[in-house]
Structure 1
Amino acid sequence: MLELHCHTTYSDGQLTPTELVIAATEAGVKALAITDHDTVSGWEEAFQTAAFYDIEIVPGVELSTVYNERSLHILGFYPDKNKLENPLKERLSGRKNRANQIIEKLGKLGYPIELEPMGEGVAAARPHIAKAMVKAGYVKSSQEAFERWLGEHKPAFVQYDKFSSIEGIQLLKSCGAVPIWAHPYLYHGGKFETVFKELLEAGLMGLEVYHPYHSSSQIQRLEKLCDEYGILKTGGSDYHGVGSLNQFNLSLGLLEPLKQTAHRLAVSVN
């Protein structure tokens, strides 16, 4: 019933915001978060479409940050769009520069490509490059592109701009957004417990407990930590257009504490 992690064509998802809202409704979702990477450009279309369906849109974003030189994603829920848009322009510019560097590397390796034109506010990402490599006939699938060229430590890989997870948390909170560590067990830059406590000290307010790549034991561990530290639990399918929506059939009861926390933050920063 609750989906708090989904992507659209404004980042690396395969469905437009309209298509995503319709698909979520058909899957039984009652509250849907739009959490594109480093952009909030998909919100407006999602809100407009949701007006015709029995579904609530939760405005969100997924910041691409770096911790200990490794990628770490921070979800932010209910940010003030007016405060967040300008800082995100820097993130989008950094994504475009990164994509150009990857394309330059591929060209030097003998695999020249051109990306399809992207609209205003779209976050350039490696899946776009992988798609172009498939179209050019260099690989048979996006997965092959990542395994051979685009994944971490592969020949064409380029790291994100140096935007730290601490800075990301601080940015989100300054915009009234609730910062949540996305899919924490997918992070490989340090011991989870150590990183968790450091992010908590920086202002982290919750964990994405329910995620398709978390094992049942990891989910139980995260649930226990959230209860122990009195922080928020969230979850979602991390849906990009492939696979299933509403995988966890999460209760809408998880949404109310998130809303209340966002309201308190908004009051404190205004």
Structure 2
Amino acid sequence: MEDPEALALLPAESQEVNNHVHTTYSFSPYSPAASVWFARKAGLKAVGSMDHDSIGAARETLEAGKILGTATTVGFELRVNFTGTALEGRKMNNPDSANIVYMTVHGVPESKIGDVEEFLKPLQAKRNQRNREQTARLNDLILPFGLAALDFDRDIASLSETADGGSITERHILYGFSRALVSKYGKGQGLVDFIENNMDLKVKGKIRDFLLEDENPHYLYDLLGILKGSFMPRFFIQPDEEECLSVYRVVQFANDIGAIPCYAYLGDVSESPTGDKKAEKFEDDFLDDLIPEMKKIGFKGISYMPPRNTLAQLQRVQRLCHEYELMEISGVDINSSRQSFNCPEILQSEFSHLITATWALIAHEKLTAINPRWSLFHKDNPLASLSLNDRILRYGQWGEKMDQHHPEGIVKLTDFSL
């Protein structure tokens, strides 16, 4: 039950929302409940869990939201292959792989969480097979450094929630490696010297300052960041099409369960929020071809992160979404202790519609769990005759007005009949 006295100590809510927070069920310092707590502590009105290859955080996220009175939404993120599409073989939004694309599935109805868990289990098993092979490759690299070999189960899997439906990512491997480095060389100049002289990596700028600071509370995450950007390619193994399913299959599954499959727009970047991606070109050069192809495949929306891109980039995305009637869903990719839960950019007038879309997403999720026909995109939705924008406005009103401690009561705000 909620504690009125504890809730009274929280700051006033702003209009900020974030639909893309990773939890310990993929890689993050935050449990699902902690992610909701820190989001609310930052003043957010709504928060969404979004884990790689896992929806294990969903139930705890939803329950924590009810306790705090914070609106929640749940989904998952995964990589898919674009074989057979008009964009086959292209490098789109994935810095590590061509033809393999990150997509998000938002607004999973609570009634379908079990279906998603079963759908993802084979992908998690396939990924862990590759994770073991990558750990073996990493060991071949670090043994000459005088480091002991990492044991996958003891040093990597133990950092994850894999026993409870979580996934294991390359970040887990790098975190385990980071702990081994700090254990052997300590923090500060000695470790920086080892990284530069023995591992042949450049450590400069703010990352160098962070690694020279012994009392840095984010030390392992900062070390992980530089390893991911510069060292991971040495042991990385490209995933295959058993691990990264056909985009057609995943989009169809998402549509079948009443969720909202979205292409995760990256855009040409100069610097990533987590400091682990180099400046690089992605899909901007062929965005006019990509967006209609997403619509053709069956995507229902485009997700993007306002702090990552320029206003000009995102206004272009917005124009294309409007032209092809695709929902816009925002979020800030939180997976490091150094990141802030706040996203003040969303309060700019150019992005105010993303706040409405978040409330519509939340209403869609709650209503679809009650009746699949009440999905925003169901052909038999009572509001199907309205434009997507008008449906989003209507759903957005319901989502914001509902009692967040008892979200199931949203149906009383609608014109729908059970």
Which stretch shifts more, 185-194 or 52-61?
A: 185-194
TM normalised by structure 2 equals 0.58
Per the TM alignment, residue 157 of structure 1 is displaced from its structure 2 partner at its CA by 1.0
Which entry has the higher C-alpha Rg, 1 or 2? 2
**Considering only aligned residues, what root-mean-square deviation do their CA atoms show, in Å?**
2.5
Per the TM alignment, residue 223 of structure 1 is displaced from its structure 2 partner at its CA by 1.1
Per the TM alignment, residue 268 of structure 1 is displaced from its structure 2 partner at its CA by 6.2
Q: Secondary structure at the residue paired with 1:5? A: strand
Distance in 1 (alpha carbons) for counterparts of 2:34 and 2:48: 14
Pick from 375, 397, 414: which aligns with 1:264? Answer: 375
Distance in 2 (alpha carbons) for counterparts of 1:94 and 1:265: 33
CA distances 1:111-155 after superposition (whole Å, capped 9, x unpaired): 4323151332111001111111111118571123223331xxx22
Aligned positions of 1:74-223 closer than 5 A: 74-79=103-108, 80-111=112-143, 112-114=149-151, 115-117=156-158, 118-119=160-161, 120-137=164-181, 141-150=223-232, 154-162=233-241, 163-185=245-267, 188=282, 191-223=286-318
* Structure 1 residues 45 and 72, CA gap change in structure 2 (3 angstroms): same
Structure 1 residue runs of 5 or longer lacking an equivalent are none
The answer (yes or no) to whether the contact 1:169–1:203 under 8 Å persists in 2 is: yes
The answer (yes or no) to whether the contact 1:172–1:179 under 8 Å persists in 2 is: yes
Per the TM alignment, residue 178 of structure 1 is displaced from its structure 2 partner at its CA by 0.5
Structure 2 residue runs of 5 or longer lacking an equivalent are 1-15, 83-88, 90-97, 144-148, 182-193, 196-210, 212-222, 269-280, 369-373, 381-418
Which stretch shifts more, 214-223 or 187-196?
A: 187-196
Which stretch shifts more, 237-246 or 184-193?
A: 184-193
* Greater relative contact order structure (CA < 8 Å, 6+ sep): 1
Distance in 2 (alpha carbons) for counterparts of 1:213 and 1:71: 21
1:21 corresponds to:
36
TM normalised by structure 1 equals 0.88
Aligned positions of 1:58-77 closer than 5 A: 58-67=73-82, 68=89, 69-77=98-106
Distance in 1 (alpha carbons) for counterparts of 2:28 and 2:265: 17
Per the TM alignment, residue 90 of structure 1 is displaced from its structure 2 partner at its CA by 1.3
1:9 corresponds to:
24
The answer (yes or no) to whether the contact 2:130–2:237 under 8 Å persists in 1 is: yes
Q: Percent identity?
A: 22
Q: Secondary structure at the residue paired with 2:292? A: helix
Q: Which has the higher strand share?
A: 1
Q: Does 1:50 align with 2:36?
A: no
1:243 corresponds to:
339
* Structure 1 residues 98 and 194, CA gap change in structure 2 (3 angstroms): farther
Distance in 1 (alpha carbons) for counterparts of 2:70 and 2:117: 25
Per the TM alignment, residue 53 of structure 1 is displaced from its structure 2 partner at its CA by 1.0
* Structure 1 residues 221 and 110, CA gap change in structure 2 (3 angstroms): same
Q: Which has the higher helix share?
A: 2
Letter matched to residue 316 of structure 2: R
The answer (yes or no) to whether the contact 1:237–1:244 under 8 Å persists in 2 is: no
Per the TM alignment, residue 209 of structure 1 is displaced from its structure 2 partner at its CA by 3.6
The answer (yes or no) to whether the contact 2:305–2:333 under 8 Å persists in 1 is: no
Letter matched to residue 56 of structure 2: S
Q: Does 1:254 align with 2:286?
A: no
Q: Secondary structure at the residue paired with 2:375? A: helix
Per the TM alignment, residue 221 of structure 1 is displaced from its structure 2 partner at its CA by 0.8
Which stretch shifts more, 117-126 or 21-30?
A: 117-126
* Structure 1 residues 57 and 212, CA gap change in structure 2 (3 angstroms): same
Letter matched to residue 167 of structure 2: A
Q: Secondary structure at the residue paired with 1:14? A: coil
Letter matched to residue 159 of structure 1: Q
Per the TM alignment, residue 104 of structure 1 is displaced from its structure 2 partner at its CA by 1.5
